[in-house]
Amino acid sequence: MALPTPPGYRALDDKSLPQYLADLDDVRRLLGGKPEQWTVREVGDGNLNLVFIVEGPAGGVCVKQALPYVRAAGESWPMPLERAFFESSYYAAVAPYVGGLIPTIYHYSPTLYCTVMERLTPHVIQRREMIVGRRHPKAAPDVGEYIARASFFTSDLAGAFERKMDMAAIFAKNQPPVRITTELIFADPYRTNPRNRWTSPQLDEVCADFHRDGPLKAAAVRFGDKFLSGAQALIHGDLHTGSVMVTPTDTRVIDPEFAMMGPIGFDLGAYMGNLLLSWYSQPGHATAADDRKAMQAWILEQVTIFWETFRDRFLALWRSNANGDAYPVSMFSAPSDVPFLEGARRTYVDSLFADMLGFGACKMIRRILGFAHNIDFEWIKDRDRRGAAETGALLMARTLLTCPEQFHSINDVVAAVPYFVRKPGAAGQPIRL
Amino acid sequence: MALPTPPGYRALDDKSLPQYLADLDDVRRLLGGKPEQWTVREVGDGNLNLVFIVEGPAGGVCVKQALPYVRAAGESWPMPLERAFFESSYYAAVAPYVGGLIPTIYHYSPTLYCTVMERLTPHVIQRREMIVGRRHPKAAPDVGEYIARASFFTSDLAGAFERKMDMAAIFAKNQPPVRITTELIFADPYRTNPRNRWTSPQLDEVCADFHRDGPLKAAAVRFGDKFLSGAQALIHGDLHTGSVMVTPTDTRVIDPEFAMMGPIGFDLGAYMGNLLLSWYSQPGHATAADDRKAMQAWILEQVTIFWETFRDRFLALWRSNANGDAYPVSMFSAPSDVPFLEGARRTYVDSLFADMLGFGACKMIRRILGFAHNIDFEWIKDRDRRGAAETGALLMARTLLTCPEQFHSINDVVAAVPYFVRKPGAAGQPIRL
């Protein structure tokens, strides 16, 4: 059942939404004309919320409203409205640091649990663009830059720890998304659960194999624990390619309702893992005119660019803005100290790299063997091709988790990716490992 | 200046305290007789609070009240009263799990910021007993057991993560102690700061050496960062031998006002590091009748017993009470999974061991080169002997921090301790390294 809703809350529709917006002076001016002239379209295709595009004679806005249940699962899966508050709190916390990489937020209504924000146009979701083979070269470096800025400036490296503890006190109450992540990413894909699904029978064998793979499960639970206890910075919590809107010249990160204090590598891994999922899915979208080989090569370039941009920007920010209680520069004021502080920074960033690979692998596996799947694979109609693509991704992810010592650099990751490709097997049969 | 105090707050004294206690039915009965018959003694010798022993015809209680400043530093160092709330919250959180290893708490007053608790008698502070060479064999295993129970049951290994996040939301507000720990333990001892002091001139050279030791400082800041970001469990935050009260048959952990969500190894290191400090201080308390060699041998046994008791109890609790969201047992239900889950547990406990050594070393260094010193060394009147004892402890701590790969087991730690002993140098001269 949906949860009981607080007084004043109502799900907005094309009648009540213009009435609400008409009372917001800046939004009314932005839309122009009169409320009767405004058009309202509900465009939410996500799992959790209502999303409206409202257009007037002068401009448009986007309105995102929380529903008291998981939309993808129906009213049988309740989901507190408060996630809208945490989303707007996250945007407010990172806005001073990330420049134009998030939408402009105009209003948040604590009664309606809705956010009125910039209408992003002609932006499109990066995941969908990758499925149709379109390249947006700004996305990967922009997301790398984004994670560097958002995580560095909300960590103890940049400021007094009291600021981070104040954020921790707030975001410690954003528990329902953590419940989802903990179960759906770090547990269910490795055990029998009626919520799981996979391409069957093609993946039956690999799924059973994963369920009995002790070293794989031991690695996954280690990252699950790190997710719960590694409070390095304020993280987005769901930063996959479906949370990135792109144009040829602009990138925006959206949908931070899973925001929490957590490990920086979780955001890095979400994006990297989804780039790799796209890579493995490409042959499933091949046509006579485009075998997608060039697209795959481009994706691997983006993996490298993403990580290197993050690493270089994070280190540069640290060198120039080290005003935090962690790694205090006042302890390293002599010229002879510099290489040791720099070495400590490198060690820190190396640990983020290792976390990116582990979390990224967990994100890949959950999208193939767990509850929530990606359209990258779902839109491959031929189940044999889909199963083969998914198997490749699963085997890569397993290697990332169980053989981390093989991956010293992003080049090692990129080099390994093609080795796990599997051809479709006999029609309608399980894929042999 | 002391902070302004809230309405109703007043520092208690021997007149107002009986009036307050007389209104608490159970305490009045426990003390017996009439308030006029009760005797009040202020016995606080700590850094932060008023501590009263109140005795009546039938029994006694202990009353601990927060002052709005750091008592050891005077009113010039303000310190919020709220630490008393966090102390009582910590006691309440761990009480269900630690049995009789904390005092019984009778009342907490949110107005007076004071806690009325069991009067521990004939308990004495373990640190003082060790200085005079008295052995309490229950202390080390009991504290090992205590940390195992308190940390396991407040971690994500034992229960739903929501419970830990609820605690995190509360304890994220206990910031002033974290400010003290961050600066006084992880930063000041490695940099010039007017709050620092050390046995001079005997330690001038080693102090200067530590201030320019890049690898040492890089290791210390790594643990400082882990202290701020490693939210494994609810920890005591100040669990040295001065926070442990002992009798030959009973042990109690007191003074948890530095409680926070943090790394389990921080509590382990506090206790282990202070056992090692006592070891190095023993020759300074030697007499013609007792050279303290036997006491030193006993202390090293306690180091081993402490760690092994912790490790064995923590693992046993984990095997029998794994109801948490981290390392979920439902992922390891097949017999073939058991060795891998057990291996993951061993890896986890090994990381606690490494953390114990690093945090313990930081705790040792801060007590010799920083602001707050230990009576273990302070009570050694001969400054040359004191300086020699302190130098040994510093060199051991430095090795723990900079050469962690040398310490695979607690036996390696115990075996290394004697190698760092330094003899007093020429009278009144710096000790040559």
Contact B178 A161 (CB under 8 A): yes
For residues B267 and B148, the answer to whether their CB atoms sit within 8 Å is no
Alpha helices in A187-292 (DSSP H): 204-211, 214-229, 264-281
Residue-wise pLDDT tens digits, B103-127 = 999 999 999 999 999 999 999 999 9
For residues A83 and A64, the answer to whether their CB atoms sit within 8 Å is no
pLDDT of res. A2: 61
Chain B hits for A166, CB-CB cut-off 8 Å, are: 172
Interface test with B, best of A327, A329, A348, A352 (most B CBs within 10 A): A327
Domain boundaries, chain A: 16-118, 124-420
Chain B hits for A224, CB-CB cut-off 8 Å, are: 325-328
Domain A16-118 matches domain A124-420 at the CATH topology level: no
Question: Which of B346, B326, B330 has the alpha carbon at shortest distance from B409?
Answer: B346
pLDDT of res. A74: 72
Residue-wise pLDDT tens digits, B144-179 = 999 999 999 999 999 999 999 999 999 999 999 999
pLDDT of res. B425: 79
- Could you tell me which chain A residue has the CA closest to the CA of B261? A229
Interface test with A, best of B151, B196, B221, B323 (most A CBs within 10 A): B221
pLDDT of res. A85: 96
Chain B hits for A164, CB-CB cut-off 8 Å, are: 228
pLDDT of res. B75: 75
- Is domain B124-420 annotated with CATH 3.90.1200.10? yes
Kindly state the average pLDDT of the residues B377-387: 97
B412 touches chain A (CB under 8 A): no
Interface test with B, best of A178, A228, A234, A258 (most B CBs within 10 A): A228
As given in the structure block, the two tokens for residue A124 are: 């499109």
- Among candidates A173, A221, A232 on the partner chain, residue whose Cβ is nearest the Cβ of B326: A221
B178 touches chain A (CB under 8 A): yes
Contact A168 B172 (CB under 8 A): yes
pLDDT of res. B155: 98
Side-by-side strand order, sheet with B124-125: B124-125, B244-246, B251-253
Contact B178 A169 (CB under 8 A): no
B341 touches chain A (CB under 8 A): yes
- Among candidates A155, A221, A231 on the partner chain, residue whose Cβ is nearest the Cβ of B331: A221
pLDDT of res. A47: 67
Element (H, E) at A60: strand A60-66
pLDDT at residue B1 is higher than 60: no
Give me the residues of A, 136-165, that contact B with CB < 8 A: 155-157, 161-162, 164-165
Q: Name the pTM for this structure.
A: 0.96
Query: ipTM of the predicted structure?
Result: 0.95
Report d(CA A348, CA A351) in Å as an integer: 5
Report d(CA B116, CA B106) in Å as an integer: 5
3 state SS for A30-45: HHCCCHHHCEEEECCC
Contact B229 A326 (CB under 8 A): yes
Report d(CA A275, CA B261) in Å as an integer: 35
Write out residues in chain A with pLDDT < 50, as ranges: none
Chain A hits for B182, CB-CB cut-off 8 Å, are: 161, 325
pLDDT of res. A140: 98
Kindly state the average pLDDT of the residues B83-90: 96
pLDDT of res. A77: 79
pLDDT of res. B172: 97
Confidence of residue B225 (pLDDT cuts 50, 70, 90): very high
As given in the structure block, the two tokens for residue B39 are: 């005797």
Interface test with B, best of A229, A323, A349 (most B CBs within 10 A): A229
Residue B190 zone, left/alpha/beta (φ > 0; ψ -120 to 50; rest): alpha
Question: Would the CA dihedral through A9, A15, A19, A20 be positive or negative?
Answer: positive
Say which residues have a Cβ less than 8 Å from residue B259's Cβ, sequence separation at least 6.
B86, B87, B89, B90, B171, B174, B234, B235, B236, B237
Q: Could you write out the DSSP letters of every residue in A160-198?
A: -HHHHHHHHHHHTT-HHHHHHHHHHTTTGGGS--TT---
Contact B326 A229 (CB under 8 A): yes
Angle at A176 between CA A170 and CA A182, to 5 degrees: 110
- Among candidates A214, A215, A225 on the partner chain, residue whose Cβ is nearest the Cβ of B326: A225
Amino acid at B310: F
| CATH architecture under which domain B16-118 falls | 2-Layer Sandwich (3.30)
pLDDT at residue B71 is higher than 80: no
Chain A hits for B326, CB-CB cut-off 8 Å, are: 221, 224-225, 228-229
Confidence of residue B46 (pLDDT cuts 50, 70, 90): low
A66 phi, psi to nearest 5 deg: -75, 140
